């Protein structure tokens, strides 16, 4: 069973439990995902965050019941899992442009997608957009240590550039294990927020555990892990790195028999002698900790 088949089961589960309290934490626990992995896979298939999908699904089901039955708005509101009639009326109008009773009177038509249609839509979207394709190699790495400048993207993704600026200004003063490698480290193990997406990012270099750090630097011990390694061709002039991340999490992972290793909630960009942003033939690698899914 691959990730896509599991997400299909999740979507059926949501439909069957639509009147209950549903959160991404609960769904991740029921289906044995880490919260981070579950968020990544779910949003890639549905194009919505879990919270957005559940709310939209509740409203779509409510609309369908309104137009097919004579039940009261209040009964339908609670039947699809809303706890407040005021909230239900407000988000219903925001979504469909009319109040619930108006939708019933007008028998307004909306698109209701079955689970099968959602999965088919994802597969068609991947077929159209999947011109960017990479096959990973698999590699095990022992524990290592990186040090650098870490910032949280809750303040905006511009902080990633700031981290690299600080690192490059400090390279000559850092005792590095390898003078030709650098890391862009996305850390999802702490401070991770799926909605809106934010996490810690660090631009760093590999060091010894006892290497003295400059003021403002952060040290991260990266545990031993097995990685899916994707080599990206190009100097990022055309957004190749972003396209690679999109492919990994939106196409490769949902269709693979691997899941994110919940004991290694991070990924990283690896830059070595092959990387030179001045040349179009540059290369870098993206490392994603994975484990094979159990049937």
Over its length of 295 residues, how does the chain's per-residue pLDDT go in tens digits? 577 888 899 999 999 999 888 887 788 788 877 777 777 788 888 888 888 999 999 999 999 999 999 999 999 999 999 999 999 999 999 999 999 999 999 888 787 788 888 888 888 777 655 545 688 999 999 999 999 999 999 989 999 999 999 999 999 999 999 999 999 999 999 888 877 789 999 999 999 999 999 999 999 999 999 999 999 988 888 888 988 998 898 888 888 889 888 889 999 999 999 998 777 788 999 999 999 876 4
The fourth-level CATH superfamily of domain 137-292 is Regulatory factor, effector binding domain (3.20.80.10)
Structure tokens at 175: 């005792």
| pTM of the predicted model as reported, rounded to 2 decimal places | 0.76
Domains in the chain: boundaries? 3-129, 137-292
Cβ neighbour number for residue 278 with a 10 Å cutoff: 7
d(CA 75, CA 133): 48
Cβ neighbour number for residue 68 with a 10 Å cutoff: 10
- The SS3 call for residue 138 is strand
The 10s digit of each residue's pLDDT in 43-74 is 888 888 888 999 999 999 999 999 999 999 99
**Domain 3-129, CATH number (from 3.40.50.11750, 3.90.550.10, 1.10.10.60, 1.10.3720.10):** 1.10.10.60
d(CA 285, CA 275): 10
């Amino acid at each position: 069973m691959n990730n896509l088949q599991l997400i299909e089961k999740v979507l059926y589960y949501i439909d069957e439990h639509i009147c209950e309290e549903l959160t991404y934490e609960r769904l991740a626990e029921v289906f044995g995902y880490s919260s981070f992995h579950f968020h990544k896979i779910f949003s890639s298939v549905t194009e919505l965050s879990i919270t957005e999908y559940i709310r939209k699904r509740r409203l779509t089901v409510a609309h369908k019941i309104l137009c097919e039955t004579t039940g009261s708005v209040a009964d339908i509101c609670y039947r699809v899992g809303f706890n407040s009639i005021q909230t239900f009326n407000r988000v219903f109008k925001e979504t469909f442009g009319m109040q619930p009773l108006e939708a019933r009177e007008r028998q307004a038509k909306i698109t209701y997608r079955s689970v099968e249609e959602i999965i088919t839509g994802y597969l068609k979207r991947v077929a159209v957009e999947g011109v960017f394709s990479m096959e990973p190699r698999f590699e095990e790495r022992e524990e290592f240590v990186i040090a650098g400048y870490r910032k949280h993207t809750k303040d905006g993704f511009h902080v990633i550039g700031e981290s690299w600026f600080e690192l490059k200004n400090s390279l000559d003063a850092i005792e590095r294990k390898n003078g030709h490698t650098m890391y862009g480290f996305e850390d999802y193990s702490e401070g991770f927020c799926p909605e809106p997406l934010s996490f810690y990012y660090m631009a760093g270099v590999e060091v010894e555990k006892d290497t003295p750090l400059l003021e403002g630097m952060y040290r991260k011990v990266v545990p031993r892990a097995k990685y899916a390694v994707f080599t990206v061709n190009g100097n990022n002039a055309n957004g190749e790195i972003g396209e690679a991340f999109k492919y990994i999490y939106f196409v490769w992972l949902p269709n693979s028999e691997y899941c994110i290793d919940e004991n290694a909630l991070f990924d990283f960009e690896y830059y070595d002698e092959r990387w030179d942003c001045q040349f179009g033939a540059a290369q870098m690698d993206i490392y994603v900790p994975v484990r094979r899914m159990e049937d």
